[in-house]
Each structure stands twice: as structure tokens, then as C-alpha cells.
Amino acid sequence: MNPEVIILAGLYDFAVDLVVAELSAIGTSYVRLNREQLSDYQLCLDPISSVLTIRSNSVDFVVTSDHLKAVWFRQPVFLRNTPSEALSLSEQLSRSQWSAFQRALTVFDEAAWMNHPQATYLAECKPYQLMIARRCGFSVPKTLAGNDAGQFRAKFLDAVVIKSLDTVLLREGDNCLFTYTTISSSDALTEANTSAAPLFVQQLLDHKTDLRVTVVGDRIFAVKILVHGAGIEGDWRVASRDSLTYVDVSLNPRTEAACIDLARQLHLPFAAIDLVETPNGVFFIEVNPTGEWGWLNTSERRIDSAIANWLSRPVTHRNSPHA
Amino acid sequence: MSEHILLTLAKKRPFSASPSMPADAYFDQALGRWLVAGGFYVDGYQTGPTTKKCDQETGEDQKGE
């Protein structure tokens, strides 16, 4: 079989199951490869002819440029190597080389990519996101990145938002550590507790309500995230599940246009954008190039269907990520 | 030197390499989907409030590799 769509995913990326169901329903052929299972297949790529064969006991695919419409790339673009314990030689080799093999599928450069790893790599950089968001017309919070506590305290006199520059997901024995966005006094930032690693310090936006905007091509799914029916100070992810509601909202035309423009400038057909609504207007917080969306999918909010339809677009729409 | 403020603020929880799932769940390579005895493991739409990644926050963008 010659699949029309390649999905590069993770084994426990359950939202992918929803898109796979939609692809089946609309008759688009696909192959899903999970990074944890790549060695279960016999894979062979001819990069010159752009032909990939995928074989196992249960599948037999030949991927060719002629038939391939799209690649859905849901993979990390760089390894963070925080396993807490030493990886065996075999594990180190497997991680680095399979990661490179997945990137090698960029030889299918006539297919539409959601998202291209090159675009994801750059868009993962939070300072770069802020700069582009400002260009797109968003208001953005005052921000400093670095390890200079003196400058942090000088710029921000009162409460500040403290965030990591990149996701902090660390292992310590049988535990893992994760950092959320935290509100703190700028006085708490000292040379002693900041110099070892850079961080993000931002203006605190009071009385905020979080907005999540999921962009799929030209489609927009916007929700307001409420805790007990109201906005929440700080990181909503620390709230209990039962207290959360996601309410569909219509963005004002300027914000909607800025979201589409941001995704376009970052070359991201898919983007999960975090905004906050405040008494002083809507502010851009960050964009997640491979963000999660399964938690928002409902019968009225069919993000799965929008992704499947984008991946199944006619060949004539290739290389036009927002068509 | 004191601990970095990001470490001080980090939330700690037991590490789990995989989410809690039904014992009979298995991944069908040909379908590209998870199955359980009664059919698909993930089917239809989410109902009610949920949070990202089965409450295992690992950051977005597939960072929990």
C-alpha cells in the first residue's frame, strides 16, 4: 500500500488515535509510526529517490512522493536527555539515530508538513516567539531572560511571573520534577538562586483569564479556561480537574488575525497559542508548535476532524501550509 | 550557593514511564490505534473537563521523551 499520510507520533499520544479515526472515515490512507516502536519495523529509506519501505508482521507500506500528501510530525525536535540514570550504549545509539531517521523523512519535501521540524525548532524558542508575536500586533508582557538578578529586580519592582526558558522536566530517582509558571516577589530573585541557569521573568498580568487558541490551517478553535467559572491568577494547570471548564469564545477580529499571522510567520500549520485576557486587553503568552489538543476535542469542537482534513488536502494545495 | 529558584519552585511527583491503562489494552500497528477488549481505547470525544495528557503534565511539544 502507498499511504497518503505519514504520522510520526508517540505510543501514548492518544489524541493521534482520534485523527487516525477521522482519516479512516474520510478514506485517507495513512501509516502511524511511534518512536518507541521504530525498531519493531524493517524501515528502509532511499533518500535520492525519496522512497521509504515500512515492513513488519502486520504492515507493508511503500511511501513515495507521488502518493504522499502530508507528514504529521509530532516529535521532539531536540533531545533533552534527562533520564536520571545512565542510558546503555544501545539506548543512546537508538535514541540519537532513530531521531535522525525521523528527521531524514524531510526528503519528502513535496508533502505538506504539520509541522516541519525546522519550523518547530525555531518556534520552540520562547524569546523568538515573543518577538514575532509583537510584530504580528499582539501585546506582550514585559520580559527579561537570563541570570542577572540585579537587572530583574531593577526592571520589576513588585510581583513578577517566573518561568523556565524551556520546559523543565527533570528526574530525581523515582520522582520527576516539573515547573509551572509561578508568581513571586522580584525581591526573591537573588544572584545565589539565579546565576546557575537562565530563566524567564515577566510582568505580572493581573485579573487575567486564560485563552487557548488552537490554529489548524486557517481554522481557529478558541476557548476560555475557567476555574470555578472565573479566571485564575497564576498557572491554571495546578487547579483540580473538577474545577475547570473550557468555554468556546469568539476572538475579536484583530486577535484572530494576529493568531493566523503568527502561525503563518512561524510556518506552523498547527499552533496551540496561549493568550490572556486582561482589563488592559489581550496579551500573547506563548505558542506550542506541537501542543496538546485532545483535552479540548468535543462533538462541537472537532479539532481532530480539522487536522485530518488538513492532512488529506488535495495535492494541488501542497507547499501552501495555510491553504 | 542556594538551590536555583526553578528547582525550589518545581513540583515533584512519582515518575511513571507510561500512563495507567487497562490490562488488555494493546496497540494495533496496522490500524495505528489502541484497542481494548470492547473496541477502541480512545473513541469519540472527550466528555467533561479534562487536563492535558491524562493529568501527567510533561510540558507540551512531546518533550517527555
Which CATH code for domain A5-120?
Answer: 3.40.50
Residues in chain A with pLDDT values less than 50? 318-323
ipTM rounded to 2 decimals: 0.85
pLDDT of residue A39: 95
Helices (H), chain B: 5-9
Measure CB to CB from residue A74 to each of B51, B62, B64 and give the nearest one: B62
- Residue A263 CB partners (closer than 8 Å, separation 6+): A215, A269, A270, A271, A273, A287, A322
Residues 149-188 of A with CB under 8 A from B: 162, 164, 167-172, 174-180, 182, 184, 188
**Which cell numbers hold the place of A201?**
521573568
Chain B contact for A22, CB < 8 A? no
Distance of alpha carbon B5 from alpha carbon A7, whole angstroms: 39
Per-residue pLDDT tens digits for A240-295:
777 888 999 999 999 999 999 999 999 999 999 999 999 999 999 999 999 999 98
Distance of alpha carbon A48 from alpha carbon A146, whole angstroms: 43
Comparing A75 with B53, the larger pLDDT belongs to A75
Q: Is A203 left (phi over 0), alpha (psi -120 to 50) or beta?
A: beta
Q: Chain B partners of A288 at a C-beta cutoff of 8 Å?
A: 60-61
Which CATH code for domain A125-139+207-288?
Answer: 3.30.470.20
Q: Do A291 and B61 touch (CB under 8 A)?
A: yes
**Rg value, chain B, Cα:** 17
Tell me whether residue A163 is exposed, middle or buried, using C-beta atoms within 10 angstroms of its C-beta: 0 to 12, 13 to 18, 19 or more: buried
pLDDT of residue A79: 66
Which pTM was predicted? 0.91
Chain B contact for A299, CB < 8 A? yes
Cα-based angle A265, A271, A273 (whole degrees, multiple of 5): 100
Residue B64 has pLDDT above 50, yes or no: no
Q: Chain A partners of B55 at a C-beta cutoff of 8 Å?
A: 241
Specify whether the CB–CB gap between A290 and A13 falls below 8 A: no
Which letter, b or e, does each residue of A15-37 get, where b requires 16 or more Cβ atoms within 10 Å of its Cβ? bbbbbbbbbeeeebebbbbbbbe
Residue B44 has pLDDT above 90, yes or no: no
Chain B contact for A292, CB < 8 A? yes
Enumerate the domain spans of chain A.
5-120, 125-139+207-288, 143-203
Distances from the Cα of A157 to the Cαs of A40, A72, A203, A279, B48, in angstroms?
Answer: 56, 45, 10, 21, 41
Residue B65 has pLDDT above 80, yes or no: no
Q: Is A221 helix (H, G, I), strand (E, B) or coil?
A: strand
pLDDT of residue B48: 46
Helices A303-311, A15-25: inter-axial angle, 10-degree rounding: 60
